Amino acid sequence: MTRLPAFLGALRRDMPWPLLAAPLLFFAAFFAFPLAVVLVASVTAADGGGLTLAHYARVLLDAYHWDILWLTLRIAFVTTAIAMMLGYPLAYYLVRVVEARWLRRACVVLLVIPLFTSNIVRSFGWMVLLGRVGIVNETLQGAGLIERPIRFLGSETGIVIGLVYILLPFVVLTTGNAIAAIDRRLEEAASDLGAGPAQRFRTIVWPLSLPGLLSGAVIVFTLAVSAYVTPALLSSGRVTVFSMLIYQQYASVFDFHYGGALSVVLLVATLLLLWAAAAIDPTRRRT
Amino acid sequence: MKTRTTIAAVAAVMAATFAGHAPAQERAITVAWYGGNWGDAFKACVADPFTRATGIRVNAEIGTSTVTLGKLNAQKAAPSIDAAWMDGGISEVAHENGVVEHLDPARLKNLGNVEPAAVYAAGGVNFAVSTGYYAVGIVYNKSKVKAAPESWNDLWKPEFRDAVTLPSPSNSAGVPLFLFLHKMWGHPPGDLAPTVARYKALNAGLYFDASGAASNAFQTGEMIVGAHFKAAAWDLIDKNLPLGFVVPKEGVWATDARLHLVKGSPKRAMAEAFIDQAMTRESAACLAEKLYLGPAVTGVVVDARTAAKLPWGEKGSVKDLKLSDWAEVNALRPRIVDVWNREIARK
């Protein structure tokens, strides 16, 4: 009972309020307030007739929305899994194998440069590569590996390829940082005690780098679930993900109430999954 | 102490600078228009001559029609936009939402220059004026399509499987073109199922949201035939791409870009003067040359090369266009988007 007032007292005394004011105001104005507007719209009737849960009923009682939610999550899961599988070895290679510091820096710059380009431009690039008459299909056909072009655009595969490309740097950067922070003396000590390279990796590097890999995975998953531009362009209008449904309601149909309910459902579903992931996080026991 | 003196001096200079500029800042209006070459054309054809004639600066607020409508709805109490371009369809919604002001013929001397049908009125309120028409017809790749398509039905030929494109409902032409074809096929009003079945049988390679995606697909040869905006098609043809534009025998679907006076604008007189400028023959001719917009202003003369690219062609007029009944389109829009998502935009 005494802890709460003590905590509040500490808040009053020690919090650098003048320093916090700017970020708090920014957060309130550009995140909390717009989110509140969406929340309010999702529980109010279109004709101004007070509070209602009708928009949520419309979303949740319709199997179609569950199908689209599952498809969206499936794309995000697969994207995250592939980004982790590609990102970990790449991060390890950059931190542990590349010896020259300038080369390592150059590699990191190469990795980060695409982030400075708009998603739209990068997605258009993939449209050129993955198209029916794109470089990938023409190369495969030229090599005699396929007879008819493979449909990448307008499929889940195309969306996953685009998202992995765009989101991979996040896994490499977080994992790379975690690997770089590992104290090399731990591995030297293990080596002195007779551990081979595989055992050193399994017992030291892997567990200590796992938090970095997992935080990268969380970033990739949340960005993939909410991605709009890449799926919209690479789906060719033949696959619908949840963010596209939300966009349509706000930009084409102007039903902000139904659109708001769709937004909140996606937000809650994502938060529940992240909460579940945190609950089974294998790195938690050690911290 | 020295630092304080410096700060005070800088503050004084800044105050003097801003105070000196204050009267000039008041002589400015904010106009919402589209991005890309459309925005550039509105600036060159309307805003620049307006500023030269009146000394009033024009600040651009760039966004699509729907984004502009969103801003106007949000700023209802204190608008920062004085005049706004929005497309047909969205224009009607803006009027229903009460964010646009009556265009008063007594205050707009050039309103008489415009075709009567291009001044949009409801309940005695002129809520919008057209600044030019544009059309959606059929674009095809001349090197890959042997016989030029003649009808909208030609898009359903089996040889175009996976290489034909139509606009999605997220594109401004998606829903109205769906209804245009629905009527063309003589399907019963209100029963969308037969048209949905036709769309599903199309095997489209691309339902485009942004017209840039369609241009890109035609440019790379990814799509070889489909519906596209005539002006965008001419941009590609002018770059010597092997593309052709066809007016199908059933006609092209068309709409217009409209200018609106924002309700509650504190700079109403200046915004009206801007709209007056847009309704001059010079501005309309300039928009026809830059965007191939069919003029809503009467008596506009353009050269033969531009005339061929107008939505109604060299010898036609606005009467040749199949314009949408926007009340009907907007009423059916939620249903069409919903059925599209469930039936068409799913593999």
DSSP letter for each residue of B146-214: SS---SGGGGG-GGGTTSEEEE-TTSTTHHHHHHHHHHHTTPPTT--HHHHHHHHTT--SEEESSHHHH
Q: What is the pLDDT of residue B23?
A: 46
Decide if A256 is inside a domain.
yes
Query: Among B220, B222, B347, whose Cβ lies nearest the Cβ of A238?
Result: B347
Q: What is the pLDDT of residue A233?
A: 92
With a pLDDT cut of 90, the percent of chain B lying above it is: 74
pLDDT surpassing 70 at residue A11? no
Q: What is the pLDDT of residue B103?
A: 96
pLDDT surpassing 80 at residue A101? yes
Q: What is the pLDDT of residue B17?
A: 46
Query: For an interface test with B, which of A64, A65, A236 has the most B Cβ atoms less than 10 Å from its Cβ?
Result: A236
pLDDT surpassing 90 at residue B70? no
Decide if A55 is inside a domain.
no
Q: State the average pLDDT for chain A.
A: 90
Q: What is the pLDDT of residue A89?
A: 96
Q: Which of A240-254, A271-285, B27-41, B130-144 has the lowest mean pLDDT?
A: A271-285
Q: Which residue of A has its CA nearest to B334?
A: A253
Q: Which of B23-37, B134-148, B159-173 has the lowest mean pLDDT?
A: B23-37
CB under 8 A, 24+ apart: contacts of B213-216: B213/A127, B213/A233, B214/B165, B214/B167, B216/A124, B216/A127, B216/A128
Q: What is the mean pLDDT of residues A232-254?
A: 91
Q: What is the pLDDT of residue A164?
A: 96
Which CATH number characterizes residue A210's domain?
Answer: 1.10.3720.10
Q: Which of A118-132, A252-266, B10-24 has the lowest mean pLDDT?
A: B10-24
Q: What is the mean pLDDT of residues A138-156?
A: 90
Decide if A192 is inside a domain.
yes
Q: What is the pLDDT of residue B22?
A: 44
pLDDT surpassing 60 at residue B15? no
Q: In which domain, by residue range, is A272 found?
A: 63-286
Domains of chain B: 2-133+256-312 (3.40.190.10), 134-254+325-344 (3.40.190.10)
Q: How far is CA B259 from CA B77, B81, B91, B127, in A?
A: 21, 12, 9, 9
Q: What is the pLDDT of residue B10?
A: 47
**pLDDT per residue over B291-301, tens digit each?**
999 999 999 98
pTM of the model: 0.83
**pLDDT per residue over A22-58, tens digit each?**
899 999 999 999 999 999 999 999 877 789 999 999 9
Decide if A206 is inside a domain.
yes
Task: Measure the CA–CA gap between B116 and B319, rounded to whole angstroms.
Answer: 12
Decide if A160 is inside a domain.
yes
Type and span of the H or E element at B132: strand B125-141
Confidence grade of residue A8 (pLDDT, cut at 50, 70, 90): low
Q: What is the pLDDT of residue B142?
A: 96
Task: Measure the CA–CA gap between A58 and A114, rounded to whole angstroms.
Answer: 40
The reply to whether residue B216 touches residue A124, judged by beta carbons under 8 angstroms, is yes
pLDDT surpassing 50 at residue B97? yes
Q: How far is CA B330 from CA B169, B178, B182, B323, in A?
A: 12, 12, 15, 14
Query: Among B67, B216, B342, whose Cβ lies nearest the Cβ of A127?
Result: B216
* Tally of domains within chain A: 1
Q: What tokens does B146 get?
A: 């042997």
Query: Among A153, A154, A245, whose Cβ lies nearest the Cβ of B341?
Result: A245
Query: For an interface test with A, which of B68, B220, B340 has the most A Cβ atoms less than 10 Å from its Cβ?
Result: B220
Q: What is the CA radius of gyration of chain B?
A: 23
**pLDDT per residue over B205-241, tens digit each?**
999 988 888 999 999 999 999 999 998 899 899 999 9
* Nearest 10 degrees: Cα torsion B134, B172, B339, A253: -140
The reply to whether residue A127 touches residue B217, judged by beta carbons under 8 angstroms, is yes
Decide if A13 is inside a domain.
no
Query: Among B67, B209, B347, whose Cβ lies nearest the Cβ of A155?
Result: B347
pLDDT surpassing 90 at residue A70? yes
The reply to whether residue A252 touches residue B175, judged by beta carbons under 8 angstroms, is yes
ipTM metric: 0.81
**pLDDT per residue over B102-116, tens digit each?**
999 999 999 999 999
With a pLDDT cut of 70, the percent of chain B lying above it is: 92
Distance from the Cα of A247 to chain B's closest Cα (Å) equals: 8
Q: What is the pLDDT of residue A148?
A: 86
Amino acid identity at B276: D
CB under 8 A, 24+ apart: contacts of A61-67: A64/B341, A64/B342, A65/A245, A65/A262, A65/A265
Which residue stretches of B221-299 are H helix?
230-238, 268-278, 281-291
pLDDT surpassing 60 at residue B24? no
The reply to whether residue B220 touches residue A128, judged by beta carbons under 8 angstroms, is yes
Confidence grade of residue A239 (pLDDT, cut at 50, 70, 90): very high
The answer to whether the CB of B295 falls within 8 A of the CB of B287 is yes
Decide if A241 is inside a domain.
yes
Identify the CA nearest to A235 among candidates A164, A166, A157, A133.
Answer: A157
Decide if A113 is inside a domain.
yes
* Nearest 10 degrees: Cα torsion A251, A257, A263, A267: 160
With a pLDDT cut of 90, the percent of chain A lying above it is: 69
